[in-house]
Amino acid sequence: MSTTDIAARFTAVAPACDFWSVRVVHKRTESLGVTRGITDPIGLADDTGVMVTVEAADGVGYAATSDTSSAGLARAGKDAHAWAKRTAGRLVAPPRTRGNAVRHDDAARPAMWGTLSRKAKVERLHALAAQAKCHDRIGDWGAGFSFSDEESVIATSAGDHICQRQGVVAPWLHASAGGGGETQTRTFGRGGAIRQGGLDVLDDMGFWDAGTRIGQEAMELLAAPNCPEGEMDLLLAPDQMYIQIHESIGHPLELDRILGDERNYAGTSFVTLDMFGRYQYGSDLLNVTFDPTVSCEAASYAFDDDGTPAEKQFLIKDGLLARPLGGATSQARANSPGVANARACHWNRPPIDRMANLNIEPGAASLADLIASVENGVLMETNVSWSIDDSRNKFQFGCERGQLIKNGKLAGVVKNPNYRGVSATFWRNLKGLGNASTVAVLGSPNCGKGEPNQMIRVGHASPPGLFGGVQVFGGG
């Protein structure tokens, strides 16, 4: 039964109430991999369920179920209605007013995944992983990818019908070299490689060509000296920039955090509502956008899970804080503009404010220009460690690989590169950004937040960024 049919089935048994919505999700997943020369068990999943939301007498309740029979859907409607009655007059904010009904359908978009047989995919993964195992000292190595094909339908008592489909590919590749009580690992983006599309995405990312490089760089790190300690320039590659953006711009700008919803779990924010339009978040080079229109990026969509149409918006313009990451419900609560970012990780969780695609607009410099401008610094690649306080201010990050920069030139690889700083001042020390040709489209499949917890994919596109006066250090 299709998602549209299930939505229609609910419509036939929906409870009498002020407003109802049903979100039906059907997600098929395939994971293939190779670990230490042996084919991993195939991972297949076929997952369908519904989330019903009911508003009644100034209360709101939800009920999610994998029971998509008429009886199951009727029971979900009844349960959601009961919760709406229980919460009437006890909500943080009353149900919001909605706009005109919307109809949208992009379910016919094909996902290019079956052009290569499963057996052929696994054979290619074996060949790739074997390239990463380039030395006897590499004791752990592997390659794989997951592909998900997700179709969702949102229907409401107001006449909305929004059908969307997204294919998402997330590859992985790693090699760990060990010796002398130490292990160094190099990966293909360590989870930051995720995009919408099919097999073509893997070619575009350079995944099939990365095996030998990953193995050799793991060996190189094993022999490298520790990253030096001191205050210096820091040049971050896009596969570190994405997590810096995520943790110290994305999360603090989430409106539900600013409104306090996340204080018991994911945390609050050093950003307050009065700072929008006034606060200089970064140097005038910093332009940050919420952009759901980049076709290959992980969290592009036409409508969020509340049915709000999605469009590109500047969150930070020329360094000045412009608008928060808040969906329709949060916007109404805060009396603030926002974006279409009410998202749920799956059918079994309600929508909350999430990042979606959060990008740094490119600057003017080439990578060579950025390196040439550094007298004393480090270029860091590929995030391996991230930690930030619950207000999203004091942070510390570690990367897989560093390269010293001396007098404008790369001057050798260092291991265990780390840096720490404070969001409120770090972005003001941004003094260089790569041009459009240096931008990499990355993201994360694992942004965790919410109560109950939700793990969701986000996209981050960024050029390399150069920062001045950063506290850098190594391991030990």
Cβ proximity to another protein: between 284 and 451 the closer is: 451
Cβ proximity to another protein: between 90 and 278 the closer is: 90
Cβ proximity to another protein: between 146 and 287 the closer is: 146
Q: CA 296 to CA 168: how far, in whole Å?
A: 9
Identify the CA nearest to 212 among candidates 165, 293, 143. 143
Q: How many Cα neighbours within 13 Å face the side chain of 407? A: 0
Other C-beta atoms lying within 10 Å of the C-beta of residue 18: 14
- Cβ atoms of 290 and 341 closer than 8 Å: yes
- CA dihedral 251→253→259→263, nearest 10 degrees, is 20
Q: Whole-number minimum distance, CB 62 to another protein, in Å? A: 3
Cβ proximity to another protein: between 118 and 312 the closer is: 118
Q: What are phi and psi of 207, to 5 degrees?
A: -60, -45
Q: CA 392 to CA 405: how far, in whole Å?
A: 29
Q: Whole-number minimum distance, CB 199 to another protein, in Å? A: 18
Cβ proximity to another protein: between 267 and 468 the closer is: 267
Q: Whole-number minimum distance, CB 139 to another protein, in Å? A: 5
Cβ proximity to another protein: between 84 and 461 the closer is: 84
| Helix residue ranges, H only, 335-406 | 367-372
Q: CA 417 to CA 424: how far, in whole Å?
A: 22
Q: Whole-number minimum distance, CB 373 to another protein, in Å? A: 27
Cβ proximity to another protein: between 350 and 377 the closer is: 350
Q: Whole-number minimum distance, CB 33 to another protein, in Å? A: 10
Residue 330 neighbours by CB under 8 Å, 6+ apart? 255, 256, 259, 324, 336, 338, 342, 353
Helix, strand, or coil here: 220?
A: helix
* Cα distances (angstroms) measured from residue 232 to each of 238, 467, 470, 476: 19, 9, 5, 20
* DSSP structure string for 248-293: IIIGGGBHHHHTTTTTTTT---S--GGGTTT-B-S-TT--EEE-TT
Q: Whole-number minimum distance, CB 48 to another protein, in Å? A: 5
Cβ proximity to another protein: between 426 and 434 the closer is: 426
Q: Whole-number minimum distance, CB 118 to another protein, in Å? A: 7
Q: CA 264 to CA 364: how far, in whole Å?
A: 41
Q: Whole-number minimum distance, CB 145 to another protein, in Å? A: 16
Cβ proximity to another protein: between 26 and 195 the closer is: 26
Q: Whole-number minimum distance, CB 346 to another protein, in Å? A: 8
